[in-house]
Structures are given as structure tokens and as C-alpha cells.
Chains A and B, each alone.
Chain A
Amino acid sequence: MSIFEAIRSALTAIGANALRSALTMLGIIIGVAAVIAMVAIGSGARERVTSQIKSLGANLAIIQSGNVTQGGVRLGAGASSTLTDEDAASIIREVDDVVAAAPVIVTRAQAVYAGTNWSTQITATDLDFFAAREWEVAEGRLFEPEELRRGEIVAVIGQTVARNLFGETNPLDQQFRIRNVPFKVIGVMAAKGQSALGQDQDDVIFVPLDTGRRRIVGRNYARDRSVQTIMVKFASEQAIAPGIAQTSALLRQRHRLMDDADDDFIVRNLTEIANTATAAANTLSWLLAAVAAVSLLVGGIGIMNIMLVSVTERTREIGLRLAVGARQRDVLAQFLIEATTLATIGGAVGIALGVAAALTIANIAGWPSVISIETILIAVGVSGMIGVFFGFYPARQAARLDPIEALRRE
């Protein structure tokens, strides 16, 4: 019997018990749909984490001013202002594999333009910052080294600020005020989206480090060279750990700390945090896939069950087929193909439902929907294999029937 004919005969048998076949397929349908939807959701979540990490910039460490102890009182992180832009410069000079080290001062302030105003984050930094964050301007330009050196009153703004402060107006070369200081917009950054913590990264105004220190933050920082944080970008992930160790040693030396004194700074490895988030997303994907796989297994058992019933019901038919010349392998093939057809049809419907579910959920959650061809191929393959695997035992039962016994069965 040709395979094509066997499939046709299997379809006839499946159609003869349409309701029963449909219910049996439902197990596979739900299983396959669950696998596709869950894998899509899992990879969507992972994709989101990855893109957030990417938006942060790879291989970053952030150094914050740390705790200082004054007369036995520990003042907590950020209490001191021990870091300086000179620290940042020496990190670039002396630590291996450092691509960028950006001194950063962050504050909040009200920006005013024409009739509107907008409270936003002001980040005072230098060009290393944009290198570290792998962030480019969409329009206009970044700061010139000369502007940084002289502390000129220019600003590069984020997309959110551009929208809220300038509306339809092209912000380039417009003047706006921060604390009554008139800044000229020289550039607009490309959109960066949400950070891993859900913060809008585009709601920001960048100004040259010195300009920010003198004109916006005010006197406290004006006399010294202190900064709040230094953002360090390493050349590779492997370079981060030794780089951080070198940096710590360098800063302790520069800050003249005694051997028994605590660090007056804190180094955070952002890649480590990112990796943890990725690992969590991976665990989530595996968990979802495992749950879906279990439902696929249950669907397979349903097929095996119904095939066993079918073999019992059709014992006389099997006897007849053997009597007119079917060999054992013909009967085996017949029932295997029937089970596989059942599973494959279920798989096809499951794929359609799974893709629809994945798209819907991705749409609602605002995630990227990741439906890969691989997932679909695997789902088809697995449902076919389920048919073969769970169909084999019933089919072998059928093939091993004694024709005389089978014909006598009522």
C-alpha cells in the first residue's frame, strides 16, 4: 500500500469517528499551541531583557561615591563626594582594557522654553559617556572637546524632552533655560526607550560636565572636581572582573586610604546584574516550555488511548485485512499512519492557535513576539513523533493479532 493511499485510508478512519478524533486531537492541539505560545512568550521576555541590557550598553561598571565614617557614624553610599573627574581620567590611563570612563553628575531641574516647562534629569558628563552607553545623536551633534573644556552653555537633549519642551518646533539651535541659565540645543539623541527598571531613558538633558557643575548644581561642587559617579566601559566581558579589581586598587591609592580603611566608593558590575536578569528570563522560558511539554505529553497519551480503543473496536477489520493478504507490517503501518495523521493534524491546528495566542499576548504585553520557524518546525516534528511513539504500541498490538481469533471476535 502506498503511503499516500495509507494516509487517505487513515483520513477515512479518522473522519468516521469525527467527534472522537476531534477530542483526541484537542490534546495535541492544546499541547502544541501551548508550546508555541509559551516559547514565544519566553523568548519575548528574554528579548526584552536583552534589548534593555543592550540599551544600557555592554560591559559596564559604575563607580559610586561610597560610605564614609565620621567619628564612628557611617554615612552611607553617596554621602561623600570622593570621586573626581581626575579619577576618571586616571582610570582610562592606568586600568587595562578600559574603553571609556565617564565622570557623571546627575540632578533634576526645571527646563523652560517659551510658554512651556518640563522637569527632567540633567546629566553633566563628557564624551566618554556616549561611548560607554553606545548612544548616538539623531540630529545635530555631540559636544566639541573645546565646549567641554570651556564649559560652554550648550545642551544635547533626549527625545522625550524634545517632544515635551519643543513640541512641533525643531529644537536645534533653540534656546531654553535651566535655573535661568540659557542653554542652546546642539543635538537631539536617538531614542533609547525604557531602562530595565522601567525608567524613560529619553527624558534627559545632557550638558558638559563643567557647565553642569558650575551653572546647575551650584557652589558645592563648583570649587572641587568631584563627580557623583564614574561610568567605566571595558573592552570585553572577560576584562570586567580584573578591570574592577585594578580600578579599586587605583582609587584606594588615589584616595590615600589606609589598608584597614573601608573603600570610600562602590563598584557595581552592571553586566553581572544583566546576566542575572537574563538567567531569570531563561529560567522563565524553560519553565513555560516544560509546562507546555507536559501538556503535549498528555495529548500523546490521549492518542495512544484512543488508538488502543480503535484497535479493539476494529479487530474484525484487522482479521479481514490479514485474511485478504495484509502482512503484519501493513497493519502496523496502517495504525501508525493513522496515529501520526491524527497527531499531525492536531499539530497543524495547534500551530495556528499557538501563533495566534502568541501574537495576541505579545500585543497586549507590548513585547516583541518571537515566533521562530524553528519552533514551528520542532512543533510539527514533535507532534508527528508523538503520533509514531504513542501509536506504535497500539499498532503493534493490531499487527500481532491472530487472523483466526480476530475474525471470530464480535
Chain B
Amino acid sequence: MPLIEAHELSRVYDLDSGRVTALDCVSLEIEAGELVAVMGPSGSGKSTFMNLIGCLDRPTGGQYRLDGVAVETLSSDGLAELRNRKLGFVFQQFNLLPRVDACANVELPMVYAGTERRARRERALAALGRVGLAERAHHRPMQLSGGQQQRVAIARALVNEPRLLLADEPTGALDSRTALEILGLFQDLNREGVTVVLVTHDAEVARHARRVIRFRDGHLLSDTRQQPADARAALLALDAAAAHPEAAA
């Protein structure tokens, strides 16, 4: 059974200026364990698609099953529970709570899952360890670099062991080297079995996915598979070039 089953998914907005079809009869499936890039220019429908598969929004037409659950039938509380249990979100702007430390940020999804306090702390620290930030657990977001903040956000997304990690332009606010580190982290997590969907307009980011889905004008434009670029290898090459500038020249 596919993890994501979208069948003729549509989303129509009723605006004052008239009806806008943001997504028009899109059907696709994503299997567990995939690393997928969703691409398209702004207005292509990729954000709408992400909101729908992320259970932040409900389709106006078609069916969507996430891990076998028919999402369009759920109440808003049902959607919240699904987001809490099965989904992890990573955003371009990190969206960390500024007043509490990294550990408390990572604990947040478990707070709404009703996890007991001590278990929460343990699992948050484990998740921070998984993204390589164990020793920064008690720093506040302000005391962390952009890349570190995004790692905290990824730890937060992972902490409830979600079925799907949904990243919306996760490298959009980072420099290219840090972006490579984050993409490398996604690739590592994917190798460990986490299903990752990257939403991006950046072809450079999409190169690191095994499958690329392109949207235009609310339609599915293409769905291709490729040999992904290896972010870790690219980082090593960068480091080597930095150590021996004359070789690069």
C-alpha cells in the first residue's frame, strides 16, 4: 500500500475575484521510503499540494489517503491528530519558539501527543542527537546558527516518528554550504527509512532527490526518476577545494 495515495485531487478557492483552481485533478502515489522533490514555480500548485498532503487543508475534490486514512472525511481535530502522529514539518523560516531552548522546541509535538514529561525529554534529546546537536540541547534558537536552527526544526519533525517528513523550501534561508549539510541530513534520514518530500523551486535542491515531481498551473507536468546527487560527497569536494585552492584553479 502506498504511503500517499492522491486520486484526482482538486483544490478550488472561492475568492472575491472569482473561483481559482489551485490544483486540478492531480493523481499520484508516493511509496514509503522515497525521497521526492516537488518542484514548480510559484502559483504552480506545489504549495497547495503540500498543504493537502500535509493535512493542513482539505481537498475540494478527489480523494487522499495518507497511510490508508481517508483524509477528506476527517474533522479539524482529526487532521490535527494526523499531523501530530504521522507528519513532520520543516519550514524555510525554521519556526522555532524563540523563548525556549532547543530541547523544549523539539518536545512541542510530544506535548500535544500527551507524552509524559520524562519520556518527552529523553526522546527530544535522542532526536537532537540524531541531527548532530546533542550538545546544543539547552541553547535558545537565538544562540544557534541558521543551519543549527534548521537541524533543531528537523529534530522536532522527527521526534514523533512520523511516516512522512514534509519540508517546504528547507534550504531557502541558508547559504549553499549549510544547504548541502541539510540536504545531506535528509539523505541520511532517508537511508534510515524516513520518507521525505522536499517542496522547492530550486533545481539544485531537487538534484538530490531520487524522484522529481513537477507542477505547472495546478497540473502535474512530469514525474521522473533520477540518480540523486550525493550531498555528502559534494561537501567533501568543497572541503578539499578549500584545503587546496590551487588544485581547484
Taking Cβ atoms with an 8 Å cutoff, the residues of A that contact B are 1, 5, 12-13, 15-16, 316-317, 319-330, 403-404, 407
A322-B80, A323-B95, A330-B112 are known; give 9 further A-B pairs, CB within 8 A.
A1-B114, A13-B99, A319-B95, A321-B108, A324-B108, A325-B81, A325-B83, A325-B109, A328-B76
Give Cα A319–Cα B56 distance, bound, in whole angstroms: 10
Cβ contact within 8 Å between B113 and A325: yes
A324 touches B91 (CB 8 A): no
Chain A residues with CB under 8 A of B113: 325
**A325 x B97 contact (CB < 8 A):** no
A-B CB contact pairs (8 Å), 30 listed: A1-B112, A1-B114, A5-B111, A15-B99, A317-B95, A317-B97, A319-B95, A320-B97, A322-B80, A322-B83, A323-B56, A323-B83, A323-B89, A323-B95, A324-B89, A324-B109, A325-B81, A325-B83, A325-B84, A325-B109, A327-B77, A327-B81, A327-B112, A328-B77, A328-B80, A329-B77, A404-B51, A404-B56, A404-B57, A407-B91
Instruction: Please give me the residue from chain A that is nearest to B168 by CB atom.
Output: A407
A205 CB → nearest B CB, Å: 77
A325 contact from B93, B99, B112, Cβ within 8 A: B112
Q: How far apart are B153's CB and chain A's nearest CB, in angstroms? A: 9
CB distance from A283 to the nearest CB of B (A): 50
**Distance between A310 CB and nearest chain B CB, rounded to angstroms:** 13
Q: Which of B60-96 contact A (CB under 8 A)?
A: 76-77, 80-81, 83-85, 89, 91, 93, 95
Residue of A at shortest CB range from B116?
A2
Bound-complex Cα distance A5 to B120 (A): 13
Given known pairs A5-B111, A403-B56, the reply for A324 and B156 (CB within 8 Å) is yes
B57 touching A326 by the CB < 8 A rule? no
Q: B100: CB under 8 A from chain A?
A: yes
B114 nearest CB neighbor, chain A only: A1
The residue in chain B whose Cβ has the minimal distance to the Cβ of A13 is: B99
Report the 3 A-B pairs with minimum CB-CB distance, sorted nearest first.
A325-B84, A324-B109, A325-B112
B112 touches A324 (CB 8 A): yes
| A1-B111, A325-B113 given; A12·B80 CB < 8 A | no
Instruction: Decide: A325 near B77, CB < 8 A? Known: A320-B95, A403-B56, A407-B91.
Output: no
Q: Assess A316 versus B76: contact at CB under 8 Å? Given A325-B81, A326-B112, A404-B51.
A: no
Residues of A within 8 A of B95 (CB): 316-317, 319-320, 323, 407
Known: A323-B83, A324-B89, A328-B77. A16 touches B99 (CB 8 A): yes
Whole-angstrom CA separation of A12 from B99 in the bound complex: 7
- Measured between C-beta atoms, what is the minimum distance from B137 to chain A in Å? 17
**Residue ID in chain A nearest B82 by CB atoms:** A325
The distance in angstroms between the C-alpha atoms of A404 and B89, with both chains bound, is: 12
Q: Which A residues are in CB contact (< 8 Å) with B80?
A: 322, 325-328
A402 to chain B: closest CB distance in Å? Answer: 8
What's the nearest-Cβ distance from chain B to residue A325, in Å? 2
Q: Beyond A1-B112, A16-B99, A407-B91, is A324–B84 a contact (Cβ under 8 Å)?
A: yes
Return chain B residues, CB-CB under 8 Å to A319.
Answer: 95
Which B residue's beta carbon lies closest to that of A326?
B112
A324 touches B83 (CB 8 A): yes
Chain A's closest residue to B80 (CB) is: A327
- B91: chain A residues at CB < 8 Å are 320, 407
- Complex CA gap A329/B77 in Å reads 9
Question: Which residues of chain B have C-beta atoms less than 8 A from A16's C-beta?
Answer: 99
Residues of chain B within 8 A of A322, CB atoms compared: 56, 80, 83
**Could you tell me the distance between the alpha carbons of A329 and B91 in the complex, rounded to whole angstroms?**
24
User: Complex formed: what's the CA distance from A325 to B88 in Å?
Assistant: 10
1/0 contact string of B99-130 vs chain A (CB within 8 Å): 11000000011011110010000000000000
Say how far A12's CB is from chain B's closest CB, in angstroms.
Answer: 6
